[in-house]
Structure 1
């Protein structure tokens, strides 16, 4: 095929469109993937409704799950017919919301045979985000293979604000696997049992009037060394004290997108709110994870499929967005994101028919 269908954002807050884009033959080290499933993400919403880092028309999507249909020269690990998944984002030919994507081999892992492809699509972007944020922004070592000894800060309190989010769920599972034992998180009460099963030692209702005091009491039960965590919400801002490190996933959402209101964003995690003196605030930029050469070669190709295959991390819960056409499915997922219809779930949908 010389061209194939792709979902694009064509204007700020406009309806999604499907256009024909060139099919790029794989070069050295690349494979061509028939994209079968994807998961829509908040970044897709930010780009459609806020025009964040967009030049219209722009192909959307970063979570790929599909089948290798062609391999380029020098590809050593993947073969035609392999079922693969990965986080791809850098240029149009890699994007997930198109029926064919041309992707470097190192950005893809083989889906374990017992994992449905649509479930695998919930992992890549936020699995990568967790490894990058914990190591680069919170300075917590996550060596591979995992050592037998406990990490230095195994008993230090780590707060994950919004544990039911996709990032929060993978963070809990990965931290617990590496031996971090004092994991605190917040969520609506209906998610508390799930988050405890994923490794949280204590879960708090973020809407409770005494949530700050309760979390600080729980944190004091640890060894007191180096509070780390993800900030968010007014209470999340009030808690970290001097010597704490806070990692905030960018962009900071100053105002959410709604059906009738445009969103507002900030890329300044430190200046967006009034943090206490002595708090180190880091804005998480997942797209720079390839600066780590080891993660570039191993994170998606080896670490991600291994932890998924061994049951160390479990896919997010998800809802399948149905529709008779590619555009209907993509638009349905976008609309549900905007209306914030899911809590603790991802929206997944079929790309190729």
Structure 2
């Protein structure tokens, strides 16, 4: 965070870190005119935002960027991009975020679009997604004539699901909705990597998934998977945006940031979003104007093109001891959850037999 909020002005110190609302406000008041308050969007203490606004202090909600790292944040790998939003979380459709304002009002002219088209080409040729690069295209052996639909799973308690998911309650509910909408499709379910790693909530037993879906895809990057499917149906997953950049049809069942601009089929439209954008304009606002990037090798500010180039440098992303311990913790949690599910299934069968 020090690197993300660094400034070229030597007289301005690095950000100071505080754990409580009172101390954060005290520091911000002491440095009024120079800094505001930045806080992880999912960790905002009660009344901190209202108090900052009342005292006319700039307030920024921090999230991981959309091209983040080669590895998971839930595995304690630091981000190489972040979002600092002064209006509201980009995943909350109840109010406009800085990203929505950019999408709705910025000219997004030809020079930006040209750079965005080049960036899309880079993302596609190098198979870049939020947490990975590279990989091979999987084969599903779908019957001829059946369209292949990817349904990306999400973290059950993720704020984008809670705020933008509408009436859909969880991954299993989404799968059922997709099957009801597309009864003849070949549905591929992709568990969220944080959930599959055992770090976050939202796991579904494979047997339950396969009552509705045709395949479960895990392992490997998201980008190659998108090259193996015909369309994407999603609640609010970033995978929908990554699919748009690849020209795939996307159906949204919730209200993600990329819905409502004429590029998706939206089952729960956001009424205030009326501007029609092209893919280059959506990409320019989302990846060029909105996030902050740092070069993980030098710690200096950079653009997404430099960060993507660093995805090819393995030593930058090598896990340290804490990250390896986190991986082991996730494995233990996964085994425990699967064990509990097996015990419950066994008891249910015994009850049926009796």
State the TM-score, normalizing by the size of structure 2.
Answer: 0.31
Instruction: Choose between structure 1 and 2: higher strand proportion.
Output: 1
Structure possessing the higher radius of gyration over alpha carbons: 2
Instruction: Choose between structure 1 and 2: higher helix proportion.
Output: 2
State the TM-score, normalizing by the size of structure 1.
Answer: 0.31
